[in-house]
Amino acid sequence: MASLTCGFPFGSPKAAFFSLLCVCAVAEGQYQYKGIRKFDQVQGSRQGAVFEEQWFTQELDHFSGQDSRVWKQRYFVNEAFYKPGGPVFLMIGGEGPANPAWMQHGTWLTYAQKLGALCLMLEHRFYGKSHPTADLSTDNLRFLSSRQALADLAHFRTVMGEDRGLSNRRWLAFGGSYPGSLAAWFRLKYPHLVYASVATSAPVYATVNFPEYLEVVWRSLASENAECPVLVKKASDTLVERLKDPKTYDNITKDFNLCSKLQIQTEMDSAYFLETLAGSFMDVVQYNEDNRGFEGVVGTNITIKVLCGVMADASLGDAYARYAAVARLMIDTFSVKCLDTSFSNYVKDMTNASWDGPAAGGGRQWVYQTCSEFGFYQSTDSPNQPFTGFPLVYHVKQCADFYNISAEQLAEAIAQTNEYYGGYDIQSSRIVFPNGSIDPWHALGITQDIRSDLPAVFIKGTAHCANMYPARSEDLPQLSLARDHVFLLLQQWLKQ
């Protein structure tokens, strides 16, 4: 499933982690398929500064006075633009390691330079190097939630304000994707601590089933070529039919350059395989023509235009053959040897509770959050989307398999999330909600003004978190205008 997060949150196969939330905002993607390199520190060429990791003492459970356990949370500071009396910008971490490249690059630093702001970035608990517990057992993951994360932010803001003499300064929260939601909710739940928020590409409505994600994928592909999603659908349907005959498995293994011979023994096996292949299109749509290169992300030149070009190339063969060509293109682009579509390997990785485990970069943690708070499952349950074979039941069963969370518990958790935060009905002020029309996550975000002090900035033709990345000459005019509009709002609010 496409991760909200940061990652590849908030279309890649690793359940909800790898599309929505992972690269957007401050999270650094963890799926090796993405070719992300790690940053322990970043040399700021403009300021000549090294952004070293620093540590802040947090409580393990902010909501229990009986629990006195504490842990160390990672954060970063950039003081290059700060002018006495200026505001404080707080970038919120998401479902992956906080990437200090954001202390050197990004639209928020342009705003900081103009407004004389001090810039801080706080890593999310249970991600990156911020390890509150000894391992990632399900019992320990009960301390992983958006509510605990907001309490971390509140305590960090309070203590840093006192220690640095910034208590009376105006603090502004920034985040994209899941951290965008946190930015909005931080202002909502702690209005005395945060003055305003920029909640980019923020899915504020929790839902178990999110078939609208793939509906937007269809429309985004069709915006390039009306036949593109039709061909994808034809290819997907053909593949599903071939999966019914084990005699085809050797050819499928070769066609898609799989790491091992395709084995389909259960519906979960086929669903995982089909979702993995669909993930290429989901990821590319979500991050289409963004500017993530400064984070160390490679392959960002693979766009909707490129994929639809492959799907339109009759010289490659029928729709199925072109679909396989897309998979091989992605494998080559990200320099991986083969595509691992083994569901049993995925289960083994996701149930490894060690901090050294293969899913500890964020996968096990983020999928837990989807099972315990958000849902966001990008199923093929809608007829108005281009894929087949990974229905809601496939996603929901993973909650039981990985964390012993039942479908009933999942539904109740999602209802509680919307009750706690308000879903689309956010009752607050001074929050701006930028979203891109290409980004499938906009379907769960605020795309129309709630009030004049809760404005939406809907950017036609842009993808996930596009307004957060550094400006470049190729940017669409409406993207440049959106960045300017957000700045003018912040400028106006700070004068109030």
Give catalytic residue positions: 177, 439, 464
Rounded-to-integer distance, Cα 324 and Cα 48, Å: 46
Beta strands at 70-78 and 54-59: parallel, antiparallel or unpaired: antiparallel
Both tokens of 309, joined, read 């070009």
The residues near 313 (Cβ < 8 Å, ≥ 6 apart) are 322, 325
Question: Rounded CA gap, 167 and 259, in Å?
Answer: 55
Residue 425 phi, psi (nearest 5): -90, 70
- Angstrom distance (rounded) from CA 440 to CA 219: 9
Q: Nearest Cα to 311, choosing from 386, 380, 384? A: 386
Cα–Cα distance for residue pair 466/233, rounded to 1 Å = 28
- Contact in structure between 221 and 463 (CB atoms under 8 Å): no
How many Cβ atoms are within 10 Å of 87's Cβ, its own excluded?
24
Question: Which helix H or strand E contains 120, and what residues bound it?
Answer: strand 118-122
Angle at 15 between CA 200 and CA 435, to 5 degrees: 15
Cα angle, residue 138 at apex, residues 135 and 142 outer, rounded to 5°: 95
Residue 279 CA to residue 490 CA, distance in Å, equals 36
Tally Cβ neighbours within 10 Å of residue 236.
Answer: 23
The encoded tokens of residue 87 equal 């505001």
Integer distance in angstroms from the first to the last C-alpha of the chain? 42
Distance CA 470, CA 389 (A): 38
Query: Burial of 337 by CB count in 10 Å (0-12 exposed, 13-18 middle, 19+ buried)?
Result: exposed
* Interatomic CA distance for residues 433 and 446, integer angstroms: 6
Helices (H), 190-260: 212-224, 228-242, 249-255
Cα–Cα distances in angstroms (integers) from residue 300 to residues 56, 179, 283, 303, in the given order:
34, 22, 10, 7
For residue 315, the tally of other CB atoms under 10 A from its CB is 6
Q: How far apart are alpha carbons 119 and 108 in whole angstroms?
A: 9
Count of H-run helices and E-run strands, the chain: 16, 14
- What is the rounded CA–CA span in Å between residue 130 and residue 243? 42
